[in-house]
């Protein structure tokens, strides 16, 4: 059991010091009894706020990132977290992105407050699949598919070559690229290596999660996630 002020403030409903006021202004029930005392103790599953169950203790969110948003907690400019409801922004532990997308990259990004999950999905050992749609400045040379699949591409400043990647040509200037690493500016650097330039980058998929049907800037909660059921 946890104190109600701790429970509510960790989930971002209010700050600890605001709990008393929050309990006055909202109907908070513990086992169907209205409570007004911030120090009351409760299990997460026994609390209702205005007839709704509490947000889950661990959260996983899929967001379709628009261009112009930064994957950082403290940077000048528009932060990706500002696309989430204030309550989620106030959670403790904080919600963080699982890896990062560049400011001008759009598409699938996961966010979580689950450190273990975040670590798993960003670990270089896990080979997490990412699929990008890449618009190129110039048509393909023709040898990129073989080159990227070879596992022999050594980018500037790297000690090891990239793991094999799968390139699918849609048109000569539009490709889908599947990679399992997440090196800094990796896709842009891969095409710079082939003397080309990425002019638009959209992530279609991250670890099986896709944003095809989602509006830009929209997010959804991945319910009942657990590492096993999503094979994460
Ligand atoms: N590769 C890049 O170059 N940028 C991204 O945002 C993601 C992958």
For residue range 59-110, list pLDDT tens digits in order.
999 999 999 999 999 989 999 999 999 999 999 999 999 999 999 999 999 9
CATH number at 35 reads: 3.10.290.10
Same domain for 48 and 15: yes
Reply yes or no on whether the pLDDT at 228 is more than 60: no
CATH number at 220 reads: 3.30.70.580
Whether the CB of 105 sits within 6 Å of ligand 1 = yes
Listed residue (110, 96, 108, 99) closest to 66, CA to CA: 108
Nearest alpha carbon, ligand 1 atom 7: 101
Distance, CA 187 to ligand 1 centroid (Å)?
5
Copy the structure tokens of residue 222: 């991945």
Nearest alpha carbon, ligand 1 atom 4: 185
Quick one: pLDDT at residue 223?
Answer: 82
Distance, CA 202 to ligand 1 centroid (Å)?
9
Same domain for 106 and 68: yes
Question: 3-class SS at 161?
Answer: coil
Average pLDDT over residues 122-143: 96
Quick one: pLDDT at residue 230?
Answer: 56
- pLDDT of 11-54, one tens digit each? 999 999 999 999 999 999 999 999 999 999 999 999 999 999 99
Pair 189, 181: CB distance under 8 Å: no
Whether the CB of 178 sits within 6 Å of ligand 1 = no
Pair 68, 61: CB distance under 8 Å: no
- pLDDT of 172-194, one tens digit each? 999 999 999 999 999 999 999 99
What is the DSSP secondary-structure string of 44-62?
GGGEEETTEEPPPSS-EEE
Same domain for 225 and 188: no
- List the domain range (segments joined by +) for residue 9: 2-53
Whether the CB of 136 sits within 6 Å of ligand 1 = no
Question: What is the percent of the chain with per-residue pLDDT over 90, rounded to a whole number?
Answer: 95
Distance, CA 54 to ligand 1 centroid (Å)?
35
End-to-end CA distance of the chain: 29
Copy the structure tokens of residue 96: 């963080």
The H or E element spanning position 169 is strand 166-171
């Amino acid at each position: 059991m946890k104190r109600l002020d701790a429970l509510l403030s960790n989930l971002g409903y209010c700050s600890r010091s605001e709990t008393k006021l929050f309990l006055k202004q909202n109907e908070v029930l513990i086992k169907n009894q209205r409570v007004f005392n911030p120090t009351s103790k409760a299990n997460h599953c026994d609390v209702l706020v205005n007839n709704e169950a509490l947000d889950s203790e661990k959260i996983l969110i899929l967001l379709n990132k628009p261009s112009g948003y930064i994957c950082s907690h403290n940077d000048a400019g528009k932060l990706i977290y500002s696309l989430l409801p204030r309550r989620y922004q106030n959670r403790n532990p904080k919600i963080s992105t699982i890896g990062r997308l560049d400011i001008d990259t759009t598409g699938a990004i996961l966010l979580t407050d689950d450190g273990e999950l975040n670590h798993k999905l960003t670990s270089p050992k896990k080979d997490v699949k990412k699929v990008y749609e890449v618009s190129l400045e110039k048509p393909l040379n023709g040898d990129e598919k073989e080159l990227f699949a070879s596992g022999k591409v050594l980018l500037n400043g790297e000690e090891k070559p990239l793991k094999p990647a799968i390139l699918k040509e849609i048109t000569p200037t539009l490709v889908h690229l599947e990679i399992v690493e997440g090196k800094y500016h990796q896709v842009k650097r891969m095409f710079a290596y082939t003397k080309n330039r990425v002019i638009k980058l959209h992530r279609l998929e991250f670890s099986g999660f896709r944003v095809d049907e989602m509006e830009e800037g929209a997010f959804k909660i991945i319910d009942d996630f657990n590492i096993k059921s999503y094979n994460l």
